[in-house]
Structure 1
Amino acid sequence: MATVTGSASLLLCLMTISFVAAAAATPSPSKKSEDHGKTLSLTLYQHETINKTAYMVVDGVAGAGVSQTTTPFGTIYVFRDNLTVHADRASAVAGVAEGSSVTTSLDGLLSLSAAKITLDHRGRRGSVSVLGGTHNTKPADHPVVGGTGDFAYALGYVRTSPVDLRGSTVTYKMELSLYWPPYAQYAPTP
């Protein structure tokens, strides 16, 4: 009986040690920032000029008129805007944002947007695709719904915020927060 109890104690002790060792080897959410290959935070600036890099292809039917920040309800526009590393349009180009938006509010400030963000920056090449609601004068979060190249399997979101809404070219700050497996499950929900 003592042999069985001693064997059971030894087995229990070994199981406890292997459980503790496995728990220590499993990455926790707090360690994700230490592994540079699994997360990426990147800030770029989008520059959009009506009738140069963005075009209205369907005029809206009601609500607000056309301005730097508003379009009538139902307006569809397409864009292909440069992304730069600084808010200055003359700074280095790191990629492009291309897609379309449909104005979905009568005040002309909200749109449903689908975009592909193609990057060649900091040694990373590929694209992320986003789909979500955009507010023209306030920050908006867009979930990442796909990726290619170095961004394959990435999850996360892209936050856009207005920087300069005056003049013929408007500028938005674009903050990408990307997470790859196994850290994707710890991606914060904006």
Structure 2
Amino acid sequence: MAKISSISFIILLSIALCVVACKVPKGYTSDKFQIFWQDRLNVTDFILILGLTNIGTGITPVSGPYGTMIVFDDPVTVTPDFNSKVIGSIRGTGSVCKLDGLSTCWAFTIRLTEGKYKGTLTFSSEIDPTKKDVAPISGGTGDFLFAQGFASSTPVDIRTTNTTYSVDLNVFWPPFE
């Protein structure tokens, strides 16, 4: 009985801490909005180091051999259509970090140059590009100075070397003058 009570207490404490931690602090600006990442293999992103070709998958638009390293500088648009208005870019590097070739450790920045906000959001996370995944925001500049929050990326079209991801941003940041 004591064991069940202890487990219940730990679960309730965890839920309470999450509710407190997930609340946007008073005085902070917060917003939710969507952008689209237009990823173009061998056009705006390139393989720097080809990983272990005998482990994991072959090279596809969303996976590569274990250890493969890429860099990218891709456009960000307002709709899933590659020809829609460009409002910024997503730049960074990634390394395939799982033997199956489907998870990549990323360090990247979303730079918004058009629209309601201008500035950067910085991310560092392990992401599976074949399904919906979440990355924490670790800071920002411009309108997003010291931003926090997260981004959910969802593949829209990953069938070709021209892949598109929907990126839902959930951002909050402190007031600065």
Give me the TM-score of the superposition, normalised by structure 1.
0.74
Shift of 1:122: 2.6
The answer to whether the aligner puts 1:42 opposite 2:33 as a matched pair is yes
Partners of 2:24 and 2:48 lie apart in 1 by 46
**Among candidates 84, 102, 122, match of residue 95 of structure 2:** 102
State the percentage of identical aligned residues.
32
Query: Deviations along 1:131-177, whole A, 9 cap, x unmatched?
Result: 00110111111111110010002100111110001123000111111
**Among candidates 158, 162, 166, match of residue 169 of structure 1:** 162
The answer to whether the aligner puts 1:115 opposite 2:108 as a matched pair is yes
Query: In structure 2, what residue type is equivalent to 1:165?
Result: I
The match for 1:186 is: none
The match for 1:141 is: 134
* SS of residue in 2 equivalent to 1:124: coil
Q: Cα RMSD (Å) of the superposition?
A: 1.9
Shift of 1:31: 10
Query: Deviations along 1:65-100, whole A, 9 cap, x unmatched?
Result: 111221000000011110000000111011100001
The match for 1:58 is: 49
* SS of residue in 2 equivalent to 1:91: coil
**2:124–2:138 contact (8 Å) kept in structure 1:** yes
Partners of 2:168 and 2:123 lie apart in 1 by 12
**2:24–2:30 contact (8 Å) kept in structure 1:** no
Query: In structure 1, what residue type is equivalent to 2:127?
Result: T
* SS of residue in 1 equivalent to 2:57: coil
Shift of 1:64: 1.3
Structure 1 portions without partners, runs of 5+: 1-28, 183-190
User: Which segment is superposed worse, 163-172 or 37-46?
Assistant: 37-46
**Among candidates 56, 71, 76, match of residue 83 of structure 1:** 76
**2:24–2:172 contact (8 Å) kept in structure 1:** no
Normalized per residue, which structure has more helix?
1
User: Which segment is superposed worse, 115-124 or 87-96?
Assistant: 115-124
* SS of residue in 2 equivalent to 1:78: strand
Partners of 2:47 and 2:87 lie apart in 1 by 25
Partners of 2:121 and 2:106 lie apart in 1 by 14
Query: In structure 2, what residue type is equivalent to 1:163?
Result: V
Matches within 5 A, 1:13-28: none
Give me the TM-score of the superposition, normalised by structure 2.
0.80
**Number of corresponding residues:** 151
Aligned in 2, Cα 1:64/1:30: closer, same or farther, shift over 3 Å?
closer
